[in-house]
Copies of this chain bind each other. A is one copy, B any other.
Amino acid sequence: MSEARTARRGRGGGGAARRAERTAVRIEAAKYIERNIPDLEILNEEALQIIEANAETVLEEIGVNFVENPAALDRWRAAGADVEGERVCIPRGLARELCKTAPSQFVQHARDPNKSVTIGGRNLVLAPVYGPPFVRDALGGRRYATMDDFEKFVKLAYMSKWLHHSGGTVCEPTDIAVNKRHLDMLLAHMTLSDKPFMGSVTEPSRAQDSVDMAGILFGKEFVAENTVMTSLININSPLTFDSTMMGALEVYAANNQAAIISPFIVGGAMAPVSVAGTLTQVLAEVLAGVAYSQLIRPGAPVIFGAFVTSIDMNSGAPTFGTPEAAQITYGAGQLARRLGLPYRSAGSFCGSKLPDAQAAYETSNSLNMGLLSGVNFMLHACGWLEGGLVASFEKFVLDADQLGALHQLAKGVDMSETGQAMDALYEVGPGGHYLGCAHTQANFKTAFWRTEVLDYKPYEQWEEEGARDSVQLASLRVEKLLNDYQKPPIDPAIEEALRAYVAEKKASMADAFT
C-alpha cells in the first residue's frame, strides 16, 4: 500500500546492525487515515440549530460548575460570565466566540517524524484502549493489570500497522504506586515506541511531569513551539468541571499541548434518555470546556470529545455499540464540524466479558460509526473489553486488524482507468473468469484489504488444524508480535536522562496507593 511506511529493526551503525537487518522483521506503520468518503449526517439543519440554541440556553440559564477552582471562576468572571458560588452562567454566544481561537487541526509530533499525526480535517488517527484496571488473555484469564502488561500493550501498539498512536493509560499498572505510575507509563511510551502518545491527567503535577519528560525526549525548545502530547480531559457530566482535570488542562493548554475535552456520559444517568437532549448537554459541556482552554491560552489545541454510551435500564449497566450511541456519535460529529474543531469519539466499545460474538458486534458497530461520523481522533480503537474494565490482549489484535479495513474503506473508489478496468471486461467477456486476466495479474496484490488474523481456510484444513476460533488465532498473533518486537532506536543519552528523571521523582515521593 502506497501510504505504508516500513521501519526495520536494528537500525544504527556497525556490523551487528547489518546482521540484525538481515534477519529483520518488517514493521509497517500506515499513515493516519485521510478520508476520501463523505460523513453520514443524520441531523438536518433545523435539528442542528435547535440543539445549538438549546446548548446556549443551558449555558446561560443553567450554567456549569467549576468545582474547587477559584482561579477558573476569576477567569470566567473576567471573560464576562455570571459567576455565583461555583456556578458559571455563560451568556449566549460567549463560549462559542471564545472557541474561535482554537485551531481546526493541529500536528502532534512523534519521536519518529514519519509518525507525526495531523488531527482534524478529513483525518482519522487511531489510538488504543485507555484506562482498564484489568487485563484478560486466553491463558491467564482476567486479572489486575501490571506494568508488565502495560509494556506489552505498548509493544503491540508499536507493532500494529494500523495504529497511529501509542495512546496513554493502555491499562492501569496497578502494581505501581498511584502517584508514581504515570512516570513509568510515560517512560514506556517514550522508549518502547516511537509513535505519538498521551500525557498524564490525574493531577496537575503529573501533567507537568509529562511536559517535563517530553522536554527531555523532544528538546525543551521543540516542546515550547510544538504539540507533542494529546491528553484526555474528562468532563464530570452533567455540567461539572472538577479541579483535578481542569488543573491538568491548565498545564497542557499553557504549554500548548493538546487536550481532548470530553463529556463522559452514560445516557440515562449522566444525560437525558434522549439523543437530542444528550447532544445538547454534550455541546454545552464541550463549549464551556473548550472556551475555558482558550481562556488559559488562546490557540491552545483542543479536540471536541464525546464519550457516550447508553444504559441498560434493567441492570443499570452501561451498554455499547447501541443504536442510540451511534445517533449521538453521528450528531456530535456534525456539531464539532460546525464548531470547526477536531472530533474525538467511538472506539472498540463493547460490554461483553469475553472477546466473543457479542464483543465483535458491539465493536464493529462502533468502529464503523466512528469512521462514518467524521471522528478525527479515535481513542480506544482496539483492545477494549467488558465496558472498559478490561484490556484484552486477543481483542487488541482482532480489533487492530479491523482498523485495517477502515483504512481501505476510507480510501474511497479508484476511478482511474485502472480502477474502471474496462480492459479486463473486454478481455474476459461473458462466461469467462478474471483470475488470470492481465488486469487481475497487475492489481491483485493491492486490490483487497488483507486480514492478519482472521481465518479463510478451506473447512477441512481448518478442522485438521484444530478448528480454532478467533480467540485462539488471536492468541497466536499476540505471541508472534511480542516475539518479533524490537525496541525502536533511541539516543542512549536521552533514554538515560528520562530514566534519571523518573528515578529522581520517584525518590522524592512516598508510595501512595489511592
Contact = CB atoms under 8 A, between A and B. Distances in A.
A415 B47 contact: yes
B351 A360 contact: no
A240 interface: yes
A419 interface: yes
Contact of A459 (B58, B389, B407, B431): B389
Contact of A276 (B280, B359, B415): B415
Chain A interface size band reads 35 or more
Contacts of A359: 357, 360
A15 interface: no
A483 interface: no
A469 B421 contact: no
A317 B457 contact: yes
Interface in A54-72: 54, 57-58, 61-65
A269 B425 contact: no
Contacts of A447: 267-268, 273-274, 310, 313, 324
Contacts of A269: 433-435
Contact of A414 (B276, B421, B429): B276
A356 B63 contact: no
19 contacts: A40-B40, A62-B430, A238-B425, A238-B430, A268-B440, A273-B424, A276-B420, A313-B447, A321-B405, A351-B454, A353-B462, A356-B469, A357-B398, A357-B470, A357-B474, A358-B455, A359-B360, A361-B398, A364-B365
Interface of A: 37-38, 40-43, 46-47, 50-51, 54, 57-58, 61-65, 87, 236, 238-240, 267-281, 310-315, 317, 319, 321-324, 326-327, 331, 351-365, 368-369, 372, 386, 389, 395, 398, 402, 405-409, 412-415, 418-422, 424-426, 428-435, 437, 439-440, 443-445, 447-451, 454-459, 462, 467, 469-471, 474
